[in-house]
Structure 1
Amino acid sequence: MKWLVQEFLNSSANSIRIANALEKCSIDYLLVRVNKDETLSVIDKENKMPLDNSGKVIQEYVLNEPVMVYGSKTFAEIAEDMELEPGSFMNEQFEFDVFRDVLGSELLNQHFVIGELSELEPMADEFFIRPTGNTKLIPGMTVTKEDFLSWKERESKNENSPYIGQSLMISPIQEIEAEYRFFVVNQEIVTGSSYKVGNNIDTTRKPSKDILQYTKKMIDRFPLAKAFVIDVAETKNGLKVVEYNNINTSGLYGCDELAFVRSINDLDFNIGMELKSGPSHFM
């Protein structure tokens, strides 16, 4: 397995950790830049400058080889357009309405409403809002009714609003004691950690045996891809699934990047003998 790792945007600790893990495991990878026009440039690992022949380098690099990508949602979408295998593990099941259909009451935010910003109305004096799918348009957060209505009015006057055509999810606020992230490959948990305890970021709490058993049960109930990330919450109403995420774009927190990298590289893929023929993303 070869890898394409998006360059360290804003000194991203996640990308740096993945690159370091690949080097420790002696796994071949290219550091790439996603340009504004969504073409890719190969970045020299020493001088951090783009190569003039990036297009040729990438074409030869991915030819007849299984290639994994790690970086942003845009990068994962480019990998899908290039028809890399495995490339990105994203599929149409990474949506909250699908989660609810499969999990029912096991989903933390089962009582949600989805719509564009212009369509949604406050469901309480304070409520939770986040994008659907795997977009990072805004982080998940709580908003007050007043702030939401002001935000909605402000964006309605913006002809270039980034929220036009984008689905958002709103749901009642849930009391969460702790949240955990697990990386899953071939329906097995390969690494995991806490990422929030109470209202604080905390990657040090070890998941209990009960949490691991519950998570495995939810993985077996809904194995939506060969590799994915699942977030689980401890609540006063028991354990709940927060969401599933694309493994190509998920933050690591306290998870073991070496275990993640090795598990992906142990996957088997049969690659055809011709160059993939998706849209061109080469410089």
Structure 2
Amino acid sequence: MSTPVTWAIQTNFIADEQIRRVWSAAEDAGARVQDVLVVPFSDELGNEVPPLDGVVIPYGATKLTRLAQKRGWRGLCFDEAAFRVDAWNRHRDDMLNQHVRQMSVRECMAAMQDEDEESRWFVRPVQDLKHFDGTVTVAREIRRWMSSVDSGNYSFDGDTEVIVAPVQKLHGEWRFFVVDGQVVDGSSYRIAGQRLANAVARPELYETAQSLADGWLPHRTCVMDVALTDEGYKVIEFNTFNSSGFYAHDIEKIVAAVTRHFATQA
């Protein structure tokens, strides 16, 4: 007997076209759909959501992931201890940023004082529910940006853990959706440094992605970003499925696979 599945989809502050496609795909897959509103700076949903039986799959911004944790929704594919850069590096030896400096924002600001002002670095939070997106910038800008934390300009503070790594040359970057350990769909999002979203069509690229997904995963259902480097394919990072965006992905195929997976859970 299948388990009832409901998609709880955030309908505010999210790209409308993607949300419409997720909503329609969930209905086509036989799931119920419940709209949810996320209110900034609040720990409550902005609309009345009735008790939902079975599996509830949240889809929206990272704030919805946090709210879903509090509600115990079983379709949340997130483990705080596993979706961290240090956990990935501990369990795998094929991460793009395998050898990084991990420190607090305050320590990072001080460390950049010793680096050439124009030296380029990659910096991102250690945790997955990001206080800010990973970015490449110069030491001078990192110092300026992180010193402004003291004036309350950002949603993180001096104790927020970040990683800092040298910039690497990436020939291509792809995002793959993994459902119960199986790669379901992929899209490029940057090729040779240029933004380019194309559906993955090459079977050998899916084989490579699956071989990477056969290793340790922070959750059996997740999003895996992959890069081609001078040393071969590396995993850039993992993201929580419930708050990951799409590029040129087959949204309908992904939503159907996730719905089918949870419908068969006891």
TMscore range, shorter length: 0.7 to 0.9
1:252-263 pair list within 5 angstroms: 252-263=246-257
Contact 1:176–1:233 (CA under 8 A) maintained in structure 2: yes
Between the aligned partners of 1:208 and 1:136, the Cα distance in structure 2 is 31
Match of 1:38 in 2: 43
In 1, Cα distance between the equivalents of 2:222 and 2:191? 23
Q: 1:139 to 1:159 in 2, by over 3 A?
A: closer
Structure 2 CA distance for partners of 1:203 and 1:98, relative to 1, 3 Å: same
Residue of structure 2 equivalent to 1:82: 71
1:14 matched to 2:28? The reply is no
**Unmatched 5+ stretches in structure 2:** none
SS in 1 for 2:121: strand
Aligned equivalents of 1:244, 1:159: Cα separation in 2: 29
The percentage of counterpart residues that share the same residue type is 23
Equivalent position of 1:225 in the other structure: 219
Q: Please give the alpha-carbon distance, in whole angstroms, between the structure 2 residues aligned to 1:193 and 1:160.
A: 34
Residue 179 (structure 1) aligned to one of 173, 179, 184: 173
Counterpart for residue 190 of structure 2: 196
Aligned-pair CA distance for 1:150: 2.2
Does residue 231 of structure 2 align to residue 237 of structure 1? yes
Aligned partner of 1:129 in structure 2 is 123
Structure 1 residues 10 and 226, CA gap change in structure 2 (3 angstroms): closer
Partner of 1:141: 135
Seen in structure 2, the aligned counterparts of structure 1 residues 145 and 89 have a Cα distance that, compared at 3 Å, is closer
Moved more, 184-193 or 132-141: 132-141
Equivalent positions of 1:162-177 (< 5 A) are 162-164=155-157, 165-177=159-171
The correspondence for 1:58, drawn from 40, 44, 50, is 50
Residues in 2 aligned to 1:206 and 1:220: alpha-carbon distance in whole angstroms: 19
Query: Structure 2 vs 1, CA of residues 142 and 223 (structure 1 numbering), >3 Å: closer, same or farther?
Result: closer
The unaligned stretches of length 5 or more in structure 1 are 43-53, 271-283
Find the aligned partners of 2:260 and 2:233 in 1 and give their Cα distance.
31
Counterpart residue type for residue 237 of structure 1: E
Assess, with a 3 A threshold, how the Cα gap between structure 1 residues 13 and 128 changes in structure 2: closer, same or farther.
Answer: farther
Q: 1:10 to 1:230 in 2, by over 3 A?
A: closer
- Specify whether residues 31 and 197 from structure 1 end up closer, same or farther in structure 2 by C-alpha distance, changes over 3 A only: same
Q: Deviations over 1:125-146 (max 9, x none)?
A: 1111112222332222111122
What do you get for the CA RMSD once the two structures are aligned?
Answer: 2.0
4+ residue runs of structure 1 moved beyond 6 angstroms? none
**In structure 2, what residue type is equivalent to 1:41?**
G
Aligned partner of 1:110: which letter?
Q
Matches within 5 A, 1:199-210: 199-204=193-198, 206=200, 208-210=202-204
List per-residue Cα deviations over 1:24-81 (Å, max 9, x = no partner).
Answer: 4343101110124221234xxxxxxxxxxx1xx422xx1x321111011111111111
Helix, strand or coil for the counterpart of 1:266?
A: helix
> CA-to-partner distance for each residue in 1:191-223, whole Å, 9 max, x for gaps?
111111122221115353333222212211113
Give the Å deviation of 1:6: 0.6
Change (3 A) 1:167 1:110: same
